[in-house]
Amino acid sequence: MTQNKGVSGSVSLAMCGSGGAGVMTAANMLLDAAAEAGYYALFGRSSGPQIRGGEAAAIVRLSPEPVTSVDDTTEILLAIDWQNVQRFAAELPLDKNSVIITDPTQGEVPEVMAKSGARIVELHMKDLAKEIPGGRPNMIALGAVAQLIGLSVDVVCEVLGQSLKKKRADAYEASVAAVKKGAEAALSMGTTKQLGKLAGEPAKRWSITGNEAAALGAVRGGVRFCAAYPITPATEILEYLSSALPKVGGTFVQAEDELASINMCIGGSFGGAASITATSGPGLSLMIEALGMATASETPVVVVDVQRGGPSTGIPTKSEQSDLNIALYGLHGDGPHLVVAPNSIGDCLMTTQWAVHLAEMTQTPCIVLSDQSLGQSRTIMPVPADVAFVGKRLTVTEALPEGQVYKRYANTASGVSPMAIPGTLGCQYTADGLEHTETGLPSSQANDHSTQQDKRLRKLTGFEYGDLWATVEGEGDIAVMCWGSCVGAAREAIARAAADGVKARLIAPRLLYPTRPDVMAKALAGVKKVLVVELSHLGQFHRYLKGEYDLPAEIQQIKRGGPLPIRPNEIHSRLLSMGK
């Protein structure tokens, strides 16, 4: 299959085995070595149902160019043993170009994997490890994989040295010996796909997960308060903030539930601190009433929803894009609020930072829709741009003239009213979720309701969002419309289609609410056919696009529920048939 030029030098591989086999250690070393050598990467893990330990698969894509999507297949699958590994078969697609590396003393290649037609090669990891005092099979595996893909074994040993040499000199010696033995054994395995050569000196890069990126983005945007309740797959955001916030003079609180976490954030924000909480679908469901209060009382707050399979407890450890409806339409009443979505692991940083900026500027809650595959995967990526978004709230800075009443909800032209931060002399007011007058007094009058409704909406529709509202790339009369974690695969598919002579453009909104009819119409100018791609069984994004925007008549869909990601080849082949 034709590959995108940009990532043609990538290699996708998976290392798996039962708990204790050291799969993750080996894969992390491989990632560190690739990083050291100057490569880019995507790194995800999949594990069995056990809370800790148990079988695991490390899924890695290495590349000389930045990568934001998984590839179509697993080019190299190495199993240290096969205990329960068939469980990962659907997540590790193989074809006849794939290579399966197996230790014949550790069980048969499972039928579901063997029937792919992949070439099977044997590597006696266990026996080879035994030849080295203190040697371990996972280090044999590491050496073999590095050798096969053309990653310098010297660099692997250097990385081993950095992590082991000082602490455990004996383990270091044994590991180096095992890596070298594995590499030597790989010489007789025939050729597999090689990692492309790097052009020039290694660029400056970061290694970060989507959840870390979102958390860092929040702090960069000015967040200094977080209250939250743990939930998979958002917990890493909280872990990061619990240590980072106190370092910058901020506050982290573990709340008793999500009702508490969102309401504490609203309290903190009322007090003037830019605030954030992070959760997943079940927690977002609990926060909805409070988000309505934040909308009505005009208290900015950011909620990151790291989506997982739903409904209900669903599939906590796997991705889905099925919280779009609740994020957009979950609030009771007419409650206009912001919804944004990052479209890559690295973009979790910028988009969350932007979310804080938008929330603070418009005094409106903002939901950030990330998902498990973005949040819990690691990337080695280019150093992110130093974007200048910092939450700047319009506040009351000068004392009001004697006798003048402070109007918290003043009906201004932009809709944004200067907010008095508690402690400001002479501007005391009561924030209220009850409909209110401009001064904040409860009111059930029609004119107060319509004035305040108009103003709350105007804050959002009149805001200047700039180019960030969407990723719009390429040209052609076909448009792939998608969002969030599907964007990487779509971009790669579009590049491949272009190489095959089919032109398509990418339209991926980062700003999901408010909608932008004018700029969307521009992005769609000349488009005759649309392909909507999403990881939602009900096709929530498709319904949203049809309901909120004017689309061309011919619309095709690629949609299904999680947990399996939509891969570039699915989109690519559909584009080829649409381009005929």
Partner 1 sequence: MTESNCAITYSAKDYKSETKPVWCPGCGDYSVLSSITKAFADLNLEPHKTSVVSGIGCSSRIPAYTTTYGFHTIHGRALVVGAGLKLARPDMTVLVAGGDGDGFSIGGNHFLHACRRNVDMTYVVMDNRVYGMTKGQPSPTTEPDWDASAMAPPGGTGMTPFNPLAIALAAGANFVARCFSGDPNGTAAVIAEAIKHPGFSFVAVMSPCITFREEQREWKNVVRPSPVDSTTDAAQAAKRLMTDDGFNMGILYRGARVPYSPKGAGQATIGDLEAEFAL
Residue 430 falls in which region: left (phi positive, over 0), alpha (psi -120 to 50) or beta: beta
Contact 330, 300 (CB under 8 A): no
Contact 535, 560 (CB under 8 A): yes
Of 131 and 154, CB closest to partner 1: 154
Give dist(CA 354, CA 516) in Å, integer: 17
Q: Does 206 bind partner 1 (CB under 8 A)?
A: yes
Query: Which of the stretches 9-17, 113-121, 157-165, 251-259 binds partner 1 when contact is defined by CB under 8 A?
Result: 251-259
Of 269 and 452, CB closest to partner 1: 269
Of 248 and 521, CB closest to partner 1: 248
Please select the residue that binds partner 1; options are 29, 56, 113, 216, rule is CB under 8 A: 216
Helical axes 169-186 vs 137-149, angle rounded to 10°: 50
- Convert residues 19-38 into a mask of x (bound to partner 1 by CB under 8 A) and - (unbound): ----------------xx--
Strands annotated E in 280-364: 301-307, 338-340
Of 47 and 209, CB closest to partner 1: 209
**CB of residue 64 to partner 1, shortest distance in Å:** 15
Residues 382-411 that bind partner 1 (CB under 8 A): 383
Please select the residue that binds partner 1; options are 76, 141, 228, 260, rule is CB under 8 A: 260
Q: Which residues contact 50 (CB under 8 A, 6 or more apart)?
A: 19
- For partner 1 (CB under 8 A), the number of binding residues is 65
Q: Which residues contact 504 (CB under 8 A, 6 or more apart)?
A: 474, 476, 478, 479, 480, 494, 497, 498, 531, 575, 579
- Convert residues 408-427 into a mask of x (bound to partner 1 by CB under 8 A) and - (unbound): ------------x-xxxxxx
Contact 392, 421 (CB under 8 A): no
Query: What DSSP state is assigned to residue 537?
Result: T
**CB of residue 293 to partner 1, shortest distance in Å:** 5
Q: Does 246 bind partner 1 (CB under 8 A)?
A: yes
Residue type, position 556, single letter: Q
Please select the residue that binds partner 1; options are 104, 107, 442, 547, rule is CB under 8 A: 442
Structure tokens at 303: 């909620």
Query: Which of the stretches 169-177, 257-265, 360-368, 536-544 binds partner 1 when contact is defined by CB under 8 A?
Result: 257-265
Query: Which of the stretches 218-226, 359-367, 504-512, 542-550 binds partner 1 when contact is defined by CB under 8 A?
Result: 218-226
Q: Which residues contact 222 (CB under 8 A, 6 or more apart)?
A: 274, 356, 357, 360, 390, 391, 392
Contact 419, 298 (CB under 8 A): yes
Q: Does 434 bind partner 1 (CB under 8 A)?
A: yes
List residues binding partner 1 (CB under 8 A): 35-36, 204-208, 212, 216, 219-220, 224-225, 227, 244-253, 255-257, 259-260, 263-273, 275, 289-290, 292-293, 297, 380, 383, 420, 422-434, 440-442
